[in-house]
């Protein structure tokens, strides 16, 4: 029986997925036949053409080697609404970026794969589980792990901001910035003033910002202003009204690199709410990580790969490596910055999260502003709690997107029944994206627990193994919990209409 039960479950899952797939393909064929024989001649060809397109999308999804939960949700949508579902998938669901973008970015990444080769001896001091996780990231990222590095965790934007300005002031060679949101205001003004001054001194200053994320926060001539100030600038995946139909694949990363020696990442963008200079949804709780030493190299290569894909400037990254004095920095465990993208079928960010959950023995604490996951992640969290791991989810108390918040709450009942403890941050909006487990492993980055972050966006984070800031993050969570309201099963009662709404939202979760 010990061996038979997992085998039975495996075959049940395979049979269920196969049945769903076959049923949806048959449903598409039925729709196609209906279009041919039930409508007038003129309408037949239009509807038939659209249904053929939806059928091809269904077949394409069936053969794709990617997350099954993500595929099945789209298959259900297309099966229920062939015309609309197919159109929605083309606009919002297809993980492959536009061909030209993909070719450019992959060409640069291939050219610089050797720059991210894992150096020997970096993870020798780790336990087997941690070494295995690090090996996965270094081989399938590929982003190497580093010893000669230190880190500093920030529990909020206003704690990080003064250090960021001080590091920018120290720049002598180059400053690289990459953000999802740049918005005019006090925070950006403080950064901009330093960038302009440093660029005038001959420092190489470059900025990548996501055009969609920053669409309403910057003047229309922003790029011209930056270039006139000798700040080279790239709006990522520019929005072209009436032409840009596919708005997936946003650059959601947050990266600052100064002289190759210091780097920042986390959830904090360059806008006033992130340092609580502007109140939008109560107090804005976020997180950031400052890294010094050898590990900064990963962030430097990440940035330069994006930059050179769209504005080729250099083929040799060696001049941007950390300086000798930075490489001799005191080691603090292992730091492994990494990125994830829709350019391949490797769900790196999700797999790192799953590894931390599955390896946890005592606790897993999670900060995330959005929670919309597939069955694999949901079952991992439930299984961890059932085997006695202290699993705690910390979520916003005041949402920035009410519909998405309703979707997040639709997961509460199965999690609570399994023993997962859920907290809502009552002072305001929690935007941090962090994992911490067993005083051993942590992630601080830009990666939300939703379909868009895990499968569609360009993201980044830093994996910390036996680093002192693992404890700093744990302590921040423990200080934050008393400010939260713990959710109980009794709080999750809803009407029949509410239950139906939750089911529909779960179905539409890839769009959110």
- Asked whether residue 82 falls in the same domain as residue 110, the answer is no
- Asked whether residue 318 falls in the same domain as residue 363, the answer is no
Domain count, the chain: 3
Domain end (from 298, 331, 364): 331
| CA 21 to centroid of chain Cα atoms | 28
- Asked whether residue 325 falls in the same domain as residue 436, the answer is no
For residue 303, being part of any structural domain is answered with: yes
For residue 388, being part of any structural domain is answered with: yes
Decide if 253 contacts 177 (C-beta within 8 A).
Answer: no
For residue 49, being part of any structural domain is answered with: yes
- Asked whether residue 23 falls in the same domain as residue 125, the answer is no
DSSP element (H, E) containing 156 = none
Contacts of residue 240, Cβ cutoff 8 Å, sequence gap at least 6: none
- Which class for 20: exposed (0-12), middle (13-18), buried (19 or more C-beta within 10 A)? middle
- Asked whether residue 48 falls in the same domain as residue 104, the answer is no
For residue 136, being part of any structural domain is answered with: no
Domain end (from 297, 331, 365): 331
Is the CA virtual torsion 360, 473, 279, 272 positive or negative? negative
| Residue ranges of E strands in 22-180 | 149-154, 174-179
User: How many residues does the structure list for the chain?
Assistant: 512
- Asked whether residue 117 falls in the same domain as residue 46, the answer is no
| Residue ranges of E strands in 301-409 | 334-340, 363-367, 371-372, 390-396
- Asked whether residue 288 falls in the same domain as residue 380, the answer is no
- Asked whether residue 35 falls in the same domain as residue 103, the answer is no
For residue 150, being part of any structural domain is answered with: yes
Domain end (from 272, 300, 331): 331
CATH of residue 423's domain is 3.30.870.10
- Asked whether residue 161 falls in the same domain as residue 203, the answer is yes
CA distance 319 to 300: 11
- Asked whether residue 221 falls in the same domain as residue 285, the answer is yes
- Asked whether residue 236 falls in the same domain as residue 221, the answer is yes
For residue 498, being part of any structural domain is answered with: yes
For residue 139, being part of any structural domain is answered with: no
Q: What angle do CA 360, 345, 7 make, to 5 degrees?
A: 55
For residue 340, being part of any structural domain is answered with: no
| Residue ranges of E strands in 374-477 | 390-396, 421-425, 428-430, 434-437, 441-445, 449-450, 459-465
pLDDT tens-digit profile, the chain (512 residues): 333 333 333 333 333 444 444 444 445 545 554 554 454 445 555 566 656 666 666 666 666 666 666 666 767 777 666 666 666 666 666 666 667 888 899 999 999 999 999 999 999 999 999 999 999 999 999 999 999 999 999 999 999 999 999 999 999 999 999 999 999 999 999 999 999 999 999 999 999 999 999 988 999 999 999 999 999 999 998 877 644 445 678 999 999 999 999 999 999 999 999 999 999 999 999 999 999 999 999 999 999 999 999 999 999 999 999 887 766 667 899 999 999 998 888 999 999 999 999 999 999 999 999 999 988 999 999 999 999 999 999 999 998 888 888 888 889 999 999 999 999 999 999 999 999 999 999 999 999 999 889 988 999 999 999 999 999 999 999 999 999 999 999 988 777 777 777 666 766 666 66
Alpha helices by DSSP H, listed for 201-335, are: 222-228, 296-310, 324-327
- Asked whether residue 194 falls in the same domain as residue 122, the answer is yes
Residues in a beta bridge with 443: 435, 463
Domain carrying residue 376: 348-511
């Amino acid at each position: 029986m010990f061996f038979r039960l997992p085998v039975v479950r495996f075959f049940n899952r395979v049979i269920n997925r196969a049945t769903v797939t076959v049923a949806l393909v048959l449903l598409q064929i039925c729709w196609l036949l209906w279009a041919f024989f039930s409508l007038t001649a003129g309408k037949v060809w239009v509807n038939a053409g659209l249904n053929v397109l939806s059928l091809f999308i269904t077949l394409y999804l069936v053969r794709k080697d990617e997350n099954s939960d993500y595929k099945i949700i789209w298959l259900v949508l297309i099966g229920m609404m062939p015309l609309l579902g197919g159109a929605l998938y083309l606009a919002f669901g297809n993980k492959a970026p536009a061909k030209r973008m993909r070719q450019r970015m992959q060409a640069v990444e291939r050219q610089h794969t050797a720059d991210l080769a894992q150096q020997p001896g970096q993870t020798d001091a780790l336990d087997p589980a941690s070494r295995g996780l690090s090996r996965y990231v270094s081989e399938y990222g590929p982003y190497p792990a580093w010893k000669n590095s230190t880190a500093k965790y920030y529990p909020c934007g206003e704690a990080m901001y003064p250090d960021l300005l001080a590091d920018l002031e120290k720049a002598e060679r180059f400053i690289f910035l990459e953000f999802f949101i740049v918005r005019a205001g006090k925070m950006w003004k403080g950064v901009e003033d330093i960038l302009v001054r440093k660029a005038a001194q001959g420092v190489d200053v470059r900025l990548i910002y996501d055009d969609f994320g920053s669409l309403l926060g910057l003047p229309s001539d922003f790029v011209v202003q930056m270039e006139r100030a000798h700040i080279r600038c790239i709006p990522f995946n520019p929005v072209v009204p009436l032409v840009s139909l596919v708005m997936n694949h946003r650059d959601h990363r947050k990266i600052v690199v100064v002289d190759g020696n210091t780097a920042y990442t986390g959830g904090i963008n360059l806008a006033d709410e992130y340092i609580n200079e502007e109140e939008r949804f109560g107090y804005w709780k976020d997180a950031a990580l400052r890294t010094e030493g050898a590990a900064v190299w990963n962030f430097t290569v990440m940035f330069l790969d994006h930059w050179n894909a769209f504005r080729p400037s250099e083929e040799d990254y060696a001049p941007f490596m950390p300086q000798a004095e930075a490489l001799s920095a005191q080691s603090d465990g292992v730091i492994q910055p990494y990125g994830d993208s829709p350019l391949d079928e490797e769900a790196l960010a999700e797999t790192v999260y799953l590894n931390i959950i599955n390896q946890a023995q005592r606790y897993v604490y999670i900060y995330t502003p959005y929670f919309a996951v597939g069955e694999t992640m949901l079952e991992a969290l439930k299984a961890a709690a059932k085997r006695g791991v202290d699993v705690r989810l910390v979520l916003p108390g005041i949402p920035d997107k009410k519909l998405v918040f309703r979707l997040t709450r639709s997961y509460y009942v199965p999690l609570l029944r399994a023993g997962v403890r859920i907290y809502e941050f009552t002072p305001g909006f929690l935007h941090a994206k962090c994992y911490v487990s067993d005083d051993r492993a942590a992630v601080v980055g830009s990666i939300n627990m939703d379909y868009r972050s895990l499968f569609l966006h360009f993201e980044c984070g830093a994996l910390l193994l036996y680093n002192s800031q693992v404890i700093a993050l744990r302590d921040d969570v423990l200080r934050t919990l008393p400010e939260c309201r713990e959710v109980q099963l009794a709080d999750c009662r809803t009407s029949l209409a509410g239950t139906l709404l939750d089911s529909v939202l779960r179905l539409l979760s890839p769009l959110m």
